[in-house]
Chains A and B, each alone.
Chain A
Amino acid sequence: MGNPLAFRAMNTDFLIAGMPAGAAEEVKTMVELAETRFSRFSPTSEISRLNQTALAWTAVTSLTYDLLVDAAEAYHATGGLFNPFLAEAMRTIGYDQSFEALTPAKAAQRLNEKQIIVTTDAPCEAHQATIREAPLPEPLEFDFAMQSIKLAAGAAIDVGGIAKGWIAQRAANRLIASGIKQGLIDAGGDVVLWGGEPTQGSWGVGVGHPLLADDHDIADLWLTGLTAIATSSIVKRRWQRSGEIPAHHILDPRTGSPSCSDLLQATVIGRDLAVAEQYTKGLIILGSAAGIRWLAERRPDLAYILVRNDGAIFHSDNLNAYTKDWRVDAHVELACDNP
């Protein structure tokens, strides 16, 4: 069994553990390949090339083709709440550079992650008023025989909300199929694991505090079977342009602006990391009450742990389907150093 392998790619920290060194290196190679093809910030990536050729058929590699087929499927499965075709809207609200390579002017707009937005109902009511329910447009066309994709007018691909989890799950599936009995792939806090941890028998995964990620975890899960855990939050990747209200990276596709709900953080537990990641976004967008109803209607097999903006934490009653050994706090302290 090799030592844990840590590296940085796709603007995030990866950790590979519990598997032979050769298998870990294979995961790393897959992730690095995905990074070169999927980034919308790299002008030479396949995604950037697609974004520059709307309304024209463009041949892509099988990796990109498969990702976009799954992304389009997720877009429909979530009723459009997971929408990886809003790159243009992201640019409009100011997310036009990688957080890893911000210019000084952009860096000055970045908000301290500990500066939690003090939410009241008022901004969310204004946000809700702008929601437009409309039939889902079809942003992509696929030609399987030619392995080509055509982007609809006005659509621009941003797979930032799916790519990391998707490639981690693909790597896990490949290793499982090749006989690797156990392993853990942590893609910047979105985790897929299988088998048991070599010395303890089960993998221990905490769920981070929404504001103080290095401090006390709000939940502990002890897992063995194939399990995926994804967490999204409106606290990370936030910025504020002069004279505007703070923005964050989870867009509400119904409004084209950053989502506004009573949820600070959503964790979803399932068997596929890309799927878990998609549903965290929908929960954050819809908020606790509507989000829980929405998840129960679409994917009752998924479990969740949610942190509301008043500090209340609640979880689904199907956590036992994934582990019999867990704990979840009831409340989290959100006192912080607001300016």
Chain B
Amino acid sequence: MSKKSDIIVVGVLSAALFTGFTAYSYSADKVKAKAQAKAAVVVTAVVPDNSKSSAVQTPADTKPDVAQPGPDSTVTKKKTTKSKAS
């Protein structure tokens, strides 16, 4: 009887261990998955940041949209001097 109960105890413990292991494994996978998801988010976030910083290094792209040549493009600014014959 006692052997039987021992077997039951062992069986229950084994079952508990198995369930616990499975639960642990599951949660570990979940954490891993979450971490991966997070990493993926981070990576996703980093890519555009990187692309931005590389864009900043390109002089042509750093220029703000400049006014097209035309009579209205310069009316609000003050000229420093003028080129003229002397």
Q: List chain A positions with a Cβ less than 8 A from chain B.
A: 12-13, 15, 17-18, 184, 186, 188-191, 197, 200, 202-208, 210, 213, 217, 220, 222, 229-233, 235-236, 265, 267, 319-320, 324-328
Contacts and interface: CB of A to CB of B under 8 A. Distances in A.
B85 A235 contact: yes
Given A200-B77, A222-B77, A233-B85, 13 more contacts: A17-B80, A189-B82, A189-B84, A189-B86, A190-B83, A200-B78, A204-B78, A205-B81, A206-B82, A207-B84, A265-B85, A326-B73, A327-B70
Contacts of A265: 85
Interface in B62-85: 63, 66-67, 69-71, 73-74, 77-85
Interface in B5-52: none
Contacts of B82: 189, 205-208, 213, 217
B79 A205 contact: yes
How many B residues touch the partner, as a band? Answer: 10 to 19
Contacts of A267: 83
Query: Which of A200, A202, A327 gathers the greatest number of chain B CB atoms within 10 Å?
Result: A327
A233 B85 CA distance: 6
B86 A236 contact: yes
Nearest to B85: A233
A235 B70 CA distance: 28
A232 B85 CA distance: 5
Contacts of A320: 69
Contacts, number: 88
Given A325-B67, A325-B69, A325-B73, A231 B79 contact: no
Contacts of B67: 324-325
Nearest to B78: A204
A229 B81 CA distance: 11
A208 B25 CA distance: 82
A12 B86 CA distance: 7
A291 B78 CA distance: 32
Contacts of A189: 82-86
Contacts of A191: 81, 83
A206 B82 CA distance: 4
Nearest to A207: B83
Nearest to A18: B80
17 contacts: A15-B81, A17-B80, A191-B81, A202-B77, A204-B78, A205-B82, A208-B85, A217-B79, A220-B74, A231-B84, A233-B84, A235-B85, A320-B69, A324-B67, A326-B74, A327-B74, A328-B69
B67 to A, nearest CB: 5
A206 B79 contact: yes
Contacts of A204: 74, 77-80
Contacts of B73: 325-327
A72 B71 CA distance: 41
Contacts of B78: 200, 204
Query: Which of B66, B67, B79, B82 gathers the greatest number of chain A CB atoms within 10 Å?
Result: B82
Contacts of B66: 324-325
A325 B68 CA distance: 6
Nearest to A324: B66
